[in-house]
Amino acid sequence: MKHRNPNSSPHLRKSPPVDVMDADRRFFARRPGRRWYVRRAYPAEKGVAQAIGANTSLPPDHAAFVLVEQIRPGVRIRLGFGAPAGMETDLSDAEIEEALREIHSGTMATSLRSAAREA
């Protein structure tokens, strides 16, 4: 099997398009007290994920999203994930932090399995 250097990908030779980073910057500039937000992934972000070998396939009723955390003004971390396409993205920091606690503790997985059995 031929291994390719992920750094040779055109998606990784340059920073994400300005509109991706600018959209995140604008969100936090307009909401200076916020730490988190969730948004749909931009096509360029999906391309970067594919370039580094991430599995980007999603069920037909799902979409790619990004959780953005602002560490301090101008310093942000982005985490991509798949979720149902109609997922609410207008979430408060408290709602996002609660979801992260549930994910970390495993209670979200348990409640999702319960909901799937009831459906």
Domain ranges of the chain: 6-87
Q: In which element (H, E) is residue 79 found?
A: strand 75-84
pLDDT at 106: 75
- 113 or 24, higher pLDDT: 24
Phi, psi of 5 (to 5 degrees): -75, 115
Cα separation values, 4 from 1, 11, 90, Å: 10, 14, 39
Q: Is a pLDDT exceeding 60 seen at residue 29?
A: yes
Q: Is a pLDDT exceeding 50 seen at residue 111?
A: yes
> Which amino acid makes up residue 30?
R
**Which residues, 6 or more positions from 89, have their beta carbon under 8 angstroms from its beta carbon?**
37, 38, 39, 40, 65
Q: pLDDT band for position 43 (50/70/90)?
A: confident
Share of residues in the chain with pLDDT > 90 (%): 38
- The helix/strand/coil state of 57 is coil
Q: Look up the pTM and report it.
A: 0.71
Q: Is a pLDDT exceeding 90 seen at residue 92?
A: yes
Q: Is a pLDDT exceeding 70 seen at residue 23?
A: yes
pLDDT in tens, 58-87: 889 999 899 999 999 999 999 888 889 999
